[in-house]
Structure 1
Amino acid sequence: MGKIAPCLVILMLFFLQLSCSSFNGTRLELKYIYSNGNLTKSELIHRALTGDKHRIASLRSASSASTTGANLPIHWGSSAYITDFAIGTPAQSISVLVDTGSDLIWTQCKSCTTCFSQSTPPYDPSQSSTYKNLPCDNTLCTALPKYSCSPDCTYLYSYVGGTSTEGYLSTETFTLGSDAVPGMAFGCGIVNSDAPDNSSGILGLSRGDLSLVSQLGVGRFSYCLASYGDRSTSPLLLGSLANLSSSAIQSTPLVENPIAPFSSFYYLSLGGITIGNTLLPISSTAFELAADGSGGLIIDSGTTITYLIDEAYQLVKQEFITQMSDLQPVQVSGGLDLCFSVPAGTTSLSVPRMVFNFEGAEMRLPGNNYFFLDSDNGLLCLMMNSMEGISIFGNYQQQNMHILYDVDNGLLSFEPAECNQL
């Protein structure tokens, strides 16, 4: 065989690079995991809060582990959103939980030996002409927390809380919207100890090398979560489509963990909280990431309500009690700490405003994003609680906010939006 001319090699490399970077952007649709059921909003929230128990326990454990530079996957939340896309040639549809707190993309495979029940057919790699196992020397294999060679790359992804998935790290063609993207790495789950609710796996959107955003190389994504109980879909926008457009855009830095700079979590710098006209006397260090990597506040798509470090939460709780003195606090069970008794059948109430004072940005939450009016049971409940070790800005507070993660530039931007109309 004759030699290939150098200019032809350069031309071939140019077109190879062009084909690998041709993905520009696309839109996926998000659905709340229980949107197809007949649950009331109160029942949706109760179920989500039950699922939060595992999520916050794992976040607390992962935060503690970060002091050693460890980056542990966290348990998926029952309060999360799912999206559908296709993998393989010909394409097979999968339905996965969207998780900003982890990086691995994985789905249960038909050849699983320990399997969970799922509503859609499991992905069958034997029916795809583009499925390939990754070798152990691939950089994405070595990016896994745990892997082995037999002889190809096999992964063990153990989530905090005892659940796990184990299988082959492979590549496949992903069909995202109208775009077919070859060579995407994902986990073909063979031994799966638990089921992510109403889905076949996880779609990781963190900063890790294995996440969808990192593999696509788009550097940015956004989502807009419709109101709880709204059965319409919400957008997940990747790449060039991830843009905000109103005059109300605000931006705050994404903060790096000093011990684990490539942590899966998206940390924010929160300086304080305002209730009504009162800036709460929260210490300046309450939400800071400590030098040992502990603490801080993360924004998370898989946790329902906002959990504040106890020092801050108690001040929030007491200020609402003080400013809402015409209502009687009552004890309730089920994951919420502060509720007020209201007349049954009440359909609207005015509540003090709440502002999260992020570095460089003020997020003024609508009342429906931090109080839930349960008309049937005569309750008005604060959708926040306390925890130790770390604070979490949950998805209930993110309703009808278009939130843009500009990973390349280290910014999180947001604007109010009607998410079901985007």
Structure 2
Amino acid sequence: MVRTKVLRNILSIITLVLLASLSHAKSSKSSIDGLRIHVRHIDSKGNFSKMELLQRMTHRSHKRMNRLVRKTHHPPRHSTKHESSAETNVHVGSGEYVMDIAIGTPSLTFPAIIDTGSDLIWTQCKPCGRCFSQPTPIFDPSTSSTYKRLPCTAELCKALPYYKCGLNNASCQYQYVYGDGSFTHGNLSSETFTLGSKKFNNIAFGCGNLNSDGFAESSGLVGLGRSKYSLVSQLKFKAFSYCFASLDKQKQSPMLFGSLCYLNASVAKGPAQTTPLLKNPIFPFYYYLSLLGITVGTTKLDIPSSTFALNSNGTGGMLIDSGTSITYLEQTGYDAVKRHFISQMRLPVADGKDIGFDLCFASRSKPSFALPKFILHFDGADLALPENNYFIHDSDTGLFCLTVMGSSGGMSILGSMQQENFKIIYDTKKSKLSFIPTQCDQQ
């Protein structure tokens, strides 16, 4: 009898352990095959006119492009924890789209910028020595039962471009200075994150106590780059995708991770095409594409493929970026594009500087004739853009503007406006990028 009770107790304990293990596995980073969340444009909740929206987008894009050019032309010295944080300047920051993340136990929801040009996940935290205004309460780690500061010996602490150690190595104090001088300083910590309907334990993030302005309509940033501490790397997904809906619809856009990236092909409007993702040897956390040529109308432009090549010193190349709204082309390549559009459009050229565009035409209504085609030829793939992805019309000013501009620094950037209504899949394991014409608000 006693032996039977003992056996029953042992079996009960084993059952509880197994159930606890299964429960933990369901919320662990590696046990979830796929994840779906939604993102929205950073200005979607603002009451902006179309012209104001265009001005805000082009202003942010010009600033971001200039930061990227300065950065790739002035690589930082190799950082150690003893160097000044001003030496890092390793990421771009800011962006065009935000996602909602929930942090802590109990959880508190925040809007955070998504950025393929950044790696660190961070949010503003109390006590706040310096914080910018955000639309939700600032995260207070003292109210969460799952918050932990990471020690200086943690692997992800050592992966940071700059850090210093707290007393007895008990904390990892990070300092990020972005290319425009904006910054976040605080403690590298771990927390439970809720993304969509899924919980993920022990996500490393920056709990920022000193943060400069420059991240409007958000509480921080979610980096999607290639470093160990980006969201993609920490969740151990080998692929992620997004599908930006047309901006004027002001609808949410789906963002998918893992196995879900390859599902729901029924809403595709064309075949998938795939091109290699290149890695910049100096800035390996960015995603680069091999742009080989451009077609305007029926003319493939006489531009040497070396014009857009990624150089061994980290300059040049074409970066695909979620945080830049318009596309920038190396200046000589853009000049050729501009000449051919002017020669093929049956409209007078107009001044678009008030909006922020370089090439505009005078037109009170959207032209009734078919516009010249605009095709970007990548290694193994041709991106034929719909007209709405490279021309935008503002009826208030009577301007019809090309949403492509020149970059004086030699770098090219594929912006988010040109990615609208394409499902963009980043296969980080195979280092490939696929794009599929898609009605993104139905994805």
Determine if the TM-score, normalized by the shorter chain, exceeds 0.5: yes
Structure 2 counterpart SS, 1:229: helix
* Compared CA separation, residues 67 and 316, structure 1 to 2 (3 A): farther
Q: Is the 8 A contact 1:31 1:82 kept in 2?
A: yes
Question: Displacement, 1:36?
Answer: 1.2
The answer to whether structure 1 residue 237 and structure 2 residue 253 are counterparts is: no
- What is aligned with 1:295? 316
1:96/1:348 Cα in 2 relative to 1: closer, same or farther (>3 Å)?
Answer: farther
Distance 1:303 1:330, change over 3 A: same
Whether the aligned pair in 1 keeps the contact of 2:29 and 2:234 (CA below 8 Å) is no
What is the rounded CA distance, in whole Å, between the counterparts of 2:301 and 2:75 in structure 1? 29
Rounded Cα–Cα distance in structure 1 between residues aligned with 2:51 and 2:59: 13
Contact 2:94–2:214 (CA<8 Å) still a contact in 1?
A: no
Letter in 2 for 1:414: F
CA distance in 1: counterparts of 2:92 and 2:424, whole angstroms: 23
Gapped regions of structure 2 (runs ≥ 5):
1-13, 80-87
What are the superposed Cα offsets for residues 253-287 of structure 1, whole Å, 9 maximum, x if unpaired? 00112344xx2210000100001111111112111
Distance 2:435 2:406 in 1: 25
Alpha-carbon offset, residue 374 of structure 1: 1.5
1:395 is matched with 416
SS at match of 1:213: helix
Question: Does the CA contact (< 8 Å) of 1:346 and 1:378 recur in 2?
Answer: no
Distance 1:17 1:318, change over 3 A: same
2:212 aligns with 193
Partner of residue 328 from structure 1, selected from 348, 352, 366: 348
Paired residue secondary structure (1:94): strand
Kept in 2, the 8 Å contact 1:156–1:164? The answer is yes
The CA distance in 2 between the partners of 1:109 and 1:347, in whole Å, is 50
Aligned equivalents of 1:102, 1:243: Cα separation in 2: 24
- The aligned counterpart of 1:253 is 276
- Counterpart of 1:178 (choices 194, 197, 202) is 197
Distance 2:250 2:282 in 1: 41
From 366, 369, 372, the equivalent of 2:392 is: 372
Matched ranges for 1:15-34 at <5 A: 19-34=28-43
- Say whether the 8 Å CA contact 2:92–2:118 is kept in structure 1: no
- How big is the shift at 1:68? 6.7
Specify the code of the residue in structure 1 equivalent to 2:246. Answer: S
Letter in 2 for 1:35: S
SS, match of residue 111 in structure 1: coil
User: Separation in 1 of the partners of 2:75 and 2:442?
Assistant: 39
Q: Could you say what secondary structure the match of 1:60 adopts?
A: helix
- The TM-score normalised by the length of structure 2 is 0.88
- The answer to whether the Cα contact below 8 Å between 1:52 and 1:77 also exists between their aligned partners in 2 is no
Q: Report the alpha carbon displacement of residue 368 of structure 1 after superposing the two structures with TM.
A: 0.6
Contact 2:125/2:138 (CA < 8 Å) preserved in 1?
A: yes
Q: Secondary structure at the match of 1:368?
A: helix
Post-superposition offset of 1:207 = 0.7
Counterpart residue number, 1:148: 164
Runs of 5+ unmatched residues, structure 1:
1-7
CA RMSD in angstroms, aligned pairs only: 2.1
Deviations 1:124-165 (A, max 9, x none): 111100000001111101111110111310100100011000
Paired residues for 1:209-248 under 5 Å: 209-243=228-262, 245=265, 246=268, 248=271
Distance 2:41 2:159 in 1: 30
Query: 1 or 2, which has the higher helix percentage?
Result: 2
Distance in 2, Cα, partners of 1:145 & 1:23: 30
Query: In structure 1, which of residues 65, 73, 80 is the aligned counterpart of residue 90 of structure 2?
Result: 73
Q: 1:206: which partner in 2?
A: 225
1:209, distance to aligned residue in structure 2 (A): 1.0
Q: Name the SS for the 1:298 alignment partner.
A: strand
| 1:277-296 alignment runs, 5 A limit | 277-296=298-317
Indicate the residue corresponding to 1:159 in structure 2: 178
Shift of 1:77: 3.9
Measured in 1, the distance between the counterparts of 2:375 and 2:78 equals 32
Amino acid corresponding to residue 91 of structure 2 in structure 1:
I
Provide the identity percentage: 46
Give the superposition deviation at 1:347.
6.7
Secondary structure of 1:396's counterpart equals helix
Pick the aligned partner of 1:304 from 317, 325, 350: 325
Give the conservation status (yes or no) of the 8 Å contact 1:99–1:204: yes
CA distance change for structure 1 residues 66 and 283 in 2, over 3 Å: closer, same or farther? farther
User: Which secondary structure does the structure 1 equivalent of 2:413 belong to?
Assistant: strand
Distance in 1, matches of 2:25 and 2:441, equals: 37
Task: Quote the residue 1:44 is aligned against.
Answer: 53
Higher mean C-alpha deviation, range 97-106 or range 50-59: 50-59
Whole-angstrom distance in 2 between the partners of 1:296 and 1:68:
21
SS of equivalent to 2:308: coil
Could you tell me whether the CA contact under 8 Å between 2:164 and 2:172 is conserved in 1? Answer: yes
| Corresponding residue of 1:5 | none
Q: Deviation at 1:193?
A: 1.2
The reply on whether 1:350 has 2:370 as its aligned counterpart is yes
The one-character-per-residue Cα deviations of 1:350-409 (angstroms, maximum 9, x if unpaired) are: 210111101000110001100111222111111011112311000110111110000011
Structure of higher CA gyration radius: 2
Distance of 2:123 and 2:58 partners within structure 1: 25
Residue 97 of structure 1 pairs with residue 137 of structure 2: no
Normalised by the length of structure 1, the TM-score is 0.92
Distance 1:108 1:259 in 2: 30
Asked whether 1:382 is paired with 2:405, we answer no
Distance change (3 Å), C-alpha of 1:24 and 1:115? same
CA distance in structure 2 between the partners assigned to 1:286 and 1:346 by the alignment: 33
Note closer, same or farther for the CA distance 1:359–1:72 as it changes in structure 2 (3 Å cut).
Answer: farther
